[in-house]
Amino acid sequence: MTTKSISNPYSFSKMNVDEDEWVESMRKSILEHEEEVDKVAVSIFSVPNVLLATDPESYIPQQIALGPFHHWLPEVYDMQRYKLAAARRTVKKYNINFERMIETMKKKDEARIRACYHKFLDMSGDALIWMMAVDMAFLLEFLVVYSMKEEGRVIKKVNSSMSHLVDGSGKKLSHMAILRDLVMVENQIPLFLVKTMLEHQCKKVSDDYESVAKETLKKMLMGLYHELTPFQENELPDVDINECDHLLDFLYHLTVPNNKELGIMEAEIDIEEEDIAEVNDEEEKEKDSFAKESEVRRFMNYIWNILSKSNAGLVKVFKKLIFGKPMALLMKLPWKIISSLPILKMMKEPMERMLEKFQGEGEEKSEEDVGAQKSPTIEEITIPSVTEMARAGIRFSPVNGGIFDISFDHITSTLYLPVVDLDVNTEVYLRNLVAYEACVAAGPLVVARYTELMNGIIDTEDDAKFLRERGIVLNHLKSDKEVADLWNGMSKSVKLTKVPKMDKVIEDVNKRYSQTWRVKFAKFMNTYVFGSWKFLTVLAALFMLLLTALQSFCSVYSCARVFHQLPDIQGGSE
């Protein structure tokens, strides 16, 4: 009898691990652990799976990997030769003892580097430090372009080995791809290391090399920000480079500055959560309709109850007569002509929904239909679209600023939105800001809320076109449809959040929109007419009672003789 050997899936022998290195790493981690490292906050994260699944290419580097997360990916490892070339040029240009610099970094910074990453870095100290040093050399050489742009200079020549990747204008496809890779959450390296390498380079140039390195790095990152940001702020906050964890963190602080960076002691607007609480549906209906429930719905229900008790069979007949298939088919015949009339045009969609609803009433629903109804829908911010607001009389005006410059003017009914310049880099840039914000922000998710707002007001290509014509959207994409798809696709990857100032604007816009006569009339018709077959049945019953009374009157007073004596309106005679 043969016995099958059962392999243990958790067997240590199956792990691709060098036992001696593993024991040494455990010993160092426990016995030689520095207490100062515990104070280092994790700053470089993996993108949550719920975000990664929406658009992997926006979060996984396509051209170049920086740091350990994607270093060994075959798709990006081909760039290693260009990294090594950049490191060789750094050694030659600045006469740096690269090996001594590596030894210093390993002794002083290895534990701190590991503490910055939220994942356990399963690699030796030598491999980690060499990887970081080579990646930093490439990054600094790439950022030189943006340092010169920030100073108003134009780079005339790029090293020949990098010329097909990088150009002074930054318009090459490979250059754009690298640019997008630099801002990805998982593609960050600690900024203190970059500053350290710059200090090594500046030692040959200035005695005050620390301040020179800091100033140079800030110019590089400011130039990079101006290249990537879709906003056009007149004034930017003063961000301390020493307080930023990595390149993306610096860009985030410029996009969403804190009170210190804004130069204020406390928040300008302090709104209680209760002030932005959603209004109860019934209260909203009462406030926004022509008549309150006590004046319309109660009267309608009172008449309906009387008719129901007096002659239930007659009511059923009226219901079938009004909402049955014959009447529905009859109503569809002249509908194209009727719906073209200006006043009745706005009633077209509610009437069609009402007919579809009552045509299907009474029919058994299949299990598939029930399942389809129960399927969850993507939660979206509650605000009218751009075209809906425009029809209601709300205006739109561009403002040169950032996210915090969104506002609404009650007097002029104007929604002020920051000018947003959209190109091929914008989606990756904003997605990674949202992802990073979700990982680190203890307060409101400001960038996420902004993308939800833009998704809420831009539903279709027409909405994107409207904002483009008003100068709010500067579109460098192929079409207005791509603009709409960009915002709608991005908001699917984030959950709803609350940002007091922005939510106050949304609340004010909704309040102003609900006060317009078009919206009030539409809500009234949907609530009390198209939303209730009882109302139409009551009208039909009253009409039938009127005809019955008229018939009774004519049977007593001989209406035929009265009608015969009426003058001929056509002017003819028998």
539-560 per-position pLDDT tens digit: 677 778 888 877 777 777 766 6
Per-residue pLDDT band at 363 (split at 50, 70, 90)? very low
The residue-averaged pLDDT of 198-210 equals: 83
Instruction: Tell me which of 157, 190, 225 is where a domain ends.
Output: 225
The Cα–Cα gap between 502 and 417 comes to 11
Is 359 a member of any domain? no
The Cα–Cα gap between 211 and 216 comes to 9
- For residue range 30-81, list pLDDT tens digits in order: 776 666 677 788 999 999 888 898 899 999 999 999 999 999 999 898 899 9
The residue-averaged pLDDT of 186-198 equals: 94
The 10 Å Cβ neighbour count of residue 345 is: 11
Q: Residue 64: CB partners within 8 Å, gap ≥ 6?
A: 76, 79, 83, 138, 178, 181
Is 432 a member of any domain? yes
Per-residue pLDDT band at 566 (split at 50, 70, 90)? low
Is 152 a member of any domain? yes
Q: H helices within 360-415, ranges in order?
A: 367-374, 386-391
- For residue range 144-181, list pLDDT tens digits in order: 888 887 776 665 556 655 665 776 566 677 889 999 99
pLDDT for position 347: 52
The Cα–Cα gap between 167 and 161 comes to 12
Q: Is the pLDDT of residue 270 over 60?
A: no
Q: Is the pLDDT of residue 21 over 60?
A: yes
Per-residue pLDDT band at 259 (split at 50, 70, 90)? confident
The 10 Å Cβ neighbour count of residue 124 is: 14
Is 18 a member of any domain? no
The Cα–Cα gap between 460 and 4 comes to 62
Is 1 a member of any domain? no
Instruction: Tell me which of 174, 202, 225 is where a domain ends.
Output: 225
Number of domains in the chain: 2
Is 562 a member of any domain? no
Is 305 a member of any domain? no
Is 378 a member of any domain? no
Mean pLDDT, the chain, integer: 77
What residue numbers bound the domain in which 453 lies? 386-525
pLDDT for position 186: 96
Q: Is the pLDDT of residue 528 over 50?
A: yes
- For residue range 499-523, list pLDDT tens digits in order: 899 999 999 999 988 887 666 666 6
pLDDT for position 168: 59
Candidate ranges 15-19, 92-96, 332-336, 548-552; pick with highest mean pLDDT: 92-96
What percent of the chain is helix, strand and coil (3-state, nearest 5)? Answer: 60, 5, 35
pLDDT for position 265: 58
